[in-house]
Structure formats: structure tokens, C-alpha cells
Amino acid sequence: MSVLIYLEHENNSLKKSTLEAISYAYAMNGGKDIFGVCPGNTDSSLATVAGKHGLSKMYKATNVNSFNAESHSAMVSEAAAKCAAKTIVIPASFSGKGIAPRVAIKLKAGYVDSVVALPDTSNGFTVRTGAYSGKAFADVSLLSETKVLSVAANVFSAKENAVNCEVEEFSIADSALNNRVLIKESIKAEGKISLPEAELVVSAGRGMKGPENWGMIEELASLLGAATACSKPVSDADWRPHSEHVGQTGIAISPNLYIAIGISGAIQHLAGVSSSKVIVVINKDPEAPFFKAADYGIVGDAFEVLPKLIDAVKKFKGA
Amino acid sequence: MLNFARYKNNALMKILVCISHVPDTTSKINFSADQKEFSSAGIQFVINPYDEIALTRALELSEASAGTVTVINVGDATTEATLRKALAIGATDAVRIDAAPRDAYFTAVQIANYAKDQSFDLILTGRESIDYNGAQLCGMLGELLSMPSVSVCKKLDLNGNDATLEREIEGGKEILTCSLPMCISASEGMAEPRIPNMRGIMGARSKPLNVVAAVAADELSKVQSYDKPKPRGQVKLIEAEKATELIDLLHNEAKVI
């Protein structure tokens, strides 16, 4: 049975979360019948990269352009009909999560968001996802014939499985081209690593005493090639933007490495970062609850530890 | 479905805010012995924090245009305290669809069925609930009601019938425009939640809270079981003087850098 992937790109380059979604679909379907769909504002290099990761055929909707939840969800559901896809795999990015519920309704499909494992098909179709904002996991069965899954970022690594990817152009029905939402401006911070997709994250809390001290955090992050994040009190005080707030009411992340500096580790914060693979905590209070949830810890003042750490990373990177 | 004449007459702005009843963020989570159900013993329930942001922005917008804000929840009678709190914060009236919600699809079908004849100008949800975190409702309502939907918005401004939105994207933001009606999911930054005052709390008791029967919906998903993440092993402490050692461990032992 075919699987269809929603392919997201930025300036003609497939996004990391999309490559991860292709790898997920490839593993789920044993490398067979892996289809993808993307809008028309792309060139042939997209299919080359998609094929390298195992995509056998790419549908390109020539009359669909930049992101719009209505037209992109219509594009996915029309492509699903073309390849008779029974499972739709969507990267759990901001845009992916915007269209997945619409696709699910169009296809009368059950939908599980941000899955963290391949489906278990030994008895029906059950798939694992986070619940209670990182405090738990839920195993959810989908009972519908067609299924929609969004795949959590940074859980499956993108693998190369080179095949020849065929391209078929199509246009979606005019009635589905409902571009009622218009993009006026797209603003991207240059050279910044996107936090939800980041493999390494350097995060800091109130222990940094004020926004003027974030230079060290940014220097460490930039040396490591990490994204920066912060705790809730820090974004509430406007020391850092809300988009950097990780935790139960911020974003949940699962990087390979999470370095928490001057964050005590309230239950709400831990919930958002507990699925990080390795956690390092730097805090001057040896009783900080975060040490109980950490793999490595340094008890010490951030203002003394950070310069040493920055020097150590410089030496390591220079070596 | 859309009645443009109303805007010309400066008629009232009608906003619907979907309210989820969730465990307080400080809650320790536990499940029943068979791991099939959430155990609510000792749990304090609150308005989902993102829904509270949506509600506050709805109130700010309706105050500016002399409109109404209806709050809606799909749940049994125990969720009425949460709806009363939304009324105390300032909502005009409340609706409870009388059913235990099974999944986001079930909830979306109920709310869409209620909203379809009510000509709401704006339907707001939180970006996700902090219990199931599905982030599904906003898009499902948009699709079921044939309205545009924009998820994870940090800003929402209205100029008559035209909305200007700021949506979060990886590493940045998008500024969008759309004409009402539409569905929007709210994220941090859209508004600062309000704390109800005594007058609001007293007034909430006499505001309408209508209970509506649920409609049938297909069962598309079912939670089989819950479990909690495995605890990490003992933390390995490194002396503050020896920061270099941490980099070695991250490189050679943890292999993450």
C-alpha cells in the first residue's frame, strides 16, 4: 500500500524534517511505493534529493505555490487519490501541523500528531506519540482505513536510500485553490538555527540575571552550531522572544544535546525537554531539581563556568 | 454563510473561543493501574493556558468592537467550573457539549456542528492543549466549516473585516492577512492572560451556560495505553574548574558533539 509524504522545501531545498519524514515512510513501507507531493515553485533538484532518500515518485502541483493551509491540504489529498495512498506522512513542522488536520478531515482519516516511533501493525495500526506535554507517552490506534501521521522533528534521522525519483506534474482543481490567507511578509533570522529542528540546544534561565548577559549563551551556541532557547520566566520578562521558550507551555523539543544554564528545572520546563537524548545542567544550586533529570551536571556559577566552557569548545573545535 | 451586510452596519463581532479543561501545569501525571486512563485524583483542572491567551485576545477585540465572546467546551459536567472561570474572565456566554471527548476529531465535529448556523466571525483555539498536545482542532474546524485556518499565531489584529496575523515558522515568522470569518490557533505573545476580579467572578454565576447534546461522530482513533518516560540514570557531576572534561565526555562518551 502506498504512502504519501508532504514535501516541504525552502528555496528549493528539502527541509530536514521532510527528509526525516521520507526516511520514516521508507522504513514503515519497507522501501516500496514511497510517493511525495510538493507545490510547483520548485525545480528538478528537489526530486534528485528526494530520490536519494528513497522517494520513488514525486507529484508536483503546478498551480500551487507558497504555503497556504487550504490549497496545500487540497494538494495532498488530491495526490493521495492519485497514488491510492493509505498512509499520509507529514513533517510535524509549523506548516505541516497546519495542514495535517485539514488533510485528515478531507480523507476521513484518523490522525496522530508528532509520532515518535514507527507504527506497530501486529494488531491493527498503533503508533506512539507524546502526551501531557512530555510528561507521558500514549500509544494510539487508528481505526480508519486511511491514516494521517505527522512525524516529530529530530526523532528519525534522515537516511540515504538512493532510488530514481520520477516526477509527475498535475494541477489541483480550481475550486480547491482557496488562497484566502495571503502572505504579506516572511521574516527569517539570518544564520540562526531553527529551535524545533535543532540537534544541539543551549538554553538559559533566570540565573543569567538579565538579557545583557546573553552574549555568552549566544557565543557558546554559535561555537557548537546550536540553537538558543530559554525558560518561561525569561521569555515572560521579555529578555528573550517567546519563540525561544521551551517547556510545557512553550515548545517541546527533542535535540541530541540540551545544555541548561541557570535553569532550576521546574516540572513545566522538564516536560518540554525530557525527550532530549543528553541533558547537561549547569547551576550554582546543588539542590536544583534539574540535576535529577540530567546526564551531566556542573555545580557552579554560570558566570564562572561559561567562559571556561567557551574556551574548551574553541579548543575542541580548533583541534 | 458569510453575511457581509453585517459589517457594513457595524454589527457586533461574534467570536467563539474553544476551551479545553486540562490538568494544571504543575501537576504530576499518573495513570490507572491498567495504564488506559488518566488518573485525575488530586489534580487541579484549569483552562488550557493557550486557550486562556485566545480568550483574552478575543475579549480585547470584542471590547474594541462591542461584540460578544462565546466560550465552548466538549465535556461532562465537571468541566463547568472551567467554563465559569472563562465567564469570570469576561466571556459573554458559555456552551458545554455534553459528552466525554474521545479525540480531537470528535471534539471538532461537535464544535463545528454547534458553530455552523451561528455565523461566528472568528473561531479561536489554543495552539494545542497541554494534555493531548494534538494541535488538531483549529485546522479540523477550518476544514469542517470551510473556513481558512492559521495555526500558531503570535499576533492577531482586526481592522473591520480584515485580520492581520503573525504566524510562527521555523526560525522566523510570517505576516498574513485574511478576511473573516476564519479559524486561528493562538500562541504565546497574542495576549497576556487576565486574572478574573471579584466582580467578574460574581457576575459569572448569572451568565448563561447552555448545555447542548452531542451528535454522532465516527471513532477514528483510540488511545490504547499511556506510560511515562523512563527516568535517567544518576547524573555525572563534573567539577566547575574542569569544564574541558565536559566537552570530552560529550564528544567521546555521549557522542553528541
In angstroms, the CA B257 to CA B254 distance is: 8
The CA distances from residue B69 to A67, B61, B78, B183, in Å, are 30, 9, 22, 14
Residue % of chain B over a pLDDT of 70: 96
- Does residue A55 share a domain with residue A8? yes
- Does residue A135 share a domain with residue A223? no
Q: How far is A205 from chain B (nearest CA, A)?
A: 18
What digits encode the pLDDT tens for the residues B29-77?
999 999 999 999 999 999 999 999 999 999 999 998 889 999 999 999 9
Tell me whether residues B243 and A298 touch, CB distance under 8 A.
yes
In angstroms, the CA A190 to CA A193 distance is: 9
Tell me whether residues B224 and A304 touch, CB distance under 8 A.
no
Q: Is residue A187 part of a domain?
A: no
- pLDDT above 60 (res B93): yes
- Does residue A68 share a domain with residue A102? yes
| Domains of chain B in sequence order | 4-224 (3.40.50.620)
Read off the pLDDT band of B2 (50, 70, 90).
very low
Q: How far is B76 from chain A (nearest CA, A)?
A: 20
CB B116 within 8 A of CB B80: no
Q: What is the CATH number of the domain that holds A8?
A: 3.40.50.620
Question: Shortest CB distance from B168 goes to which of A189, A243, A256?
Answer: A243
Q: What is the CATH number of the domain that holds A262?
A: 3.40.50.1220
Domain end residue (candidates: A145, A176, A207)? A176
Q: How far is B178 from chain A (nearest CA, A)?
A: 5
Alpha-carbon radius of gyration of chain A: 21
- Does residue A248 share a domain with residue A171? no
Dihedrals φ, ψ of A256, to 5°?
-70, -35
- Among A73, A111, A202, A284, which would you mutate to test the B interface (most chain B Cβ atoms within 10 Å of its Cβ)? A111
- What are the helix (H) ranges across chain B? 4-8, 49-65, 80-89, 104-115, 137-144, 198-204, 243-248
Q: Is residue A185 part of a domain?
A: no
For chain B, counts of helices (H) and of strands (E): 7, 13
- Does residue A296 share a domain with residue A205? yes
Q: In chain A, how many domains are there?
A: 2
Question: Shortest CB distance from A194 goes to which of B170, B225, B226?
Answer: B170
Long-range contacts (CB closer than 8 Å, 24 or more residues apart) made by B61-65: B61/B13, B61/B15, B61/B122, B61/B156, B61/B158, B62/B13, B62/B15, B62/B92, B64/B158, B65/B12, B65/B13, B65/B158
- Among B53, B153, B219, B235, which would you mutate to test the A interface (most chain A Cβ atoms within 10 Å of its Cβ)? B235
Dihedrals φ, ψ of B158, to 5°?
-120, 140
- Does residue A39 share a domain with residue A97? yes
What's residue B9's pLDDT?
A: 44
* Complex ipTM value: 0.94
Tell me whether residues A256 and B256 touch, CB distance under 8 A.
yes
Question: Picking from A223-227, B19-23, B230-234, which range would have the lowest pLDDT averaged per residue?
Answer: B230-234
Tell me whether residues A186 and B136 touch, CB distance under 8 A.
no
Q: How far is A184 from chain B (nearest CA, A)?
A: 5
Chains A, B: CB contacts within 8 A come to: 275
Question: Shortest CB distance from A140 goes to which of B224, B233, B237?
Answer: B224
In angstroms, the CA B207 to CA A80 distance is: 47
CB B112 within 8 A of CB B141: yes
Give the residue on B whose Cα is nearest the Cα of A193.
B171
What's residue B11's pLDDT?
A: 62
Q: Is residue A186 part of a domain?
A: no
- pLDDT above 80 (res B3): no
CB A310 within 8 A of CB A223: yes
Q: How far is B75 from chain A (nearest CA, A)?
A: 18
- pLDDT above 50 (res B8): no
In angstroms, the CA B247 to CA B19 distance is: 46
- Does residue A298 share a domain with residue A217? yes
Chain A positions touching B182 (Cβ under 8 A) are 180-181
CB atoms within 10 A of CB A37: 28
If you average pLDDT over every residue of chain A, what do you get? 95
Question: Shortest CB distance from B134 goes to which of A113, A126, A249?
Answer: A113
Tell me whether residues A101 and B246 touch, CB distance under 8 A.
no
- Residue type, position B162, single letter: D
Tell me whether residues A192 and B152 touch, CB distance under 8 A.
no
Q: Is residue A184 part of a domain?
A: no
Ranges under pLDDT 50 in chain A = none
- Does residue A220 share a domain with residue A136? no
Domain that residue A252 falls in: 195-318
Q: Report residue A20 as a C-alpha cell.
A: 526525516
CA A121 to chain centre: 24
Q: What is the DSSP letter of B192?
A: P
Q: Report residue B198 as a C-alpha cell.
A: 471579584
Q: How far is A188 from chain B (nearest CA, A)?
A: 4
- Does residue A102 share a domain with residue A45? yes
Domain end residue (candidates: A176, A205, A227)? A176
pTM exceeding 0.90: yes
Tell me whether residues B235 and A281 touch, CB distance under 8 A.
yes
Q: Is residue A182 part of a domain?
A: no
Q: How far is B149 from chain A (nearest CA, A)?
A: 7
What digits encode the pLDDT tens for the residues A274-287?
999 999 999 999 99
Q: How far is B136 from chain A (nearest CA, A)?
A: 5
Question: Shortest CB distance from A242 goes to which of B179, B189, B254?
Answer: B189
Residue at grid coordinates 543569567: A208
- Does residue A232 share a domain with residue A170? no
Characterize B203-218 residue by residue with b for buried, 16 or more Cβ atoms within 10 angstroms of its Cβ, and e for exposed.
ebeebebeeeebeebe
Q: Is residue A137 part of a domain?
A: yes
Chain A positions touching B103 (Cβ under 8 A) are 110
Q: Is residue A183 part of a domain?
A: no
- Among B1, B220, B236, which would you mutate to test the A interface (most chain A Cβ atoms within 10 Å of its Cβ)? B220
Question: Shortest CB distance from B174 goes to which of A70, A186, A300?
Answer: A186
- pLDDT above 70 (res B4): no
- Does residue A161 share a domain with residue A41? yes
- Does residue A215 share a domain with residue A171? no
* Cα angle A24, A187, B172; round to 5: 45
Domain end residue (candidates: A116, A145, A176)? A176
Question: Shortest CB distance from B228 goes to which of A135, A267, A300?
Answer: A135
Q: Is residue A64 part of a domain?
A: yes
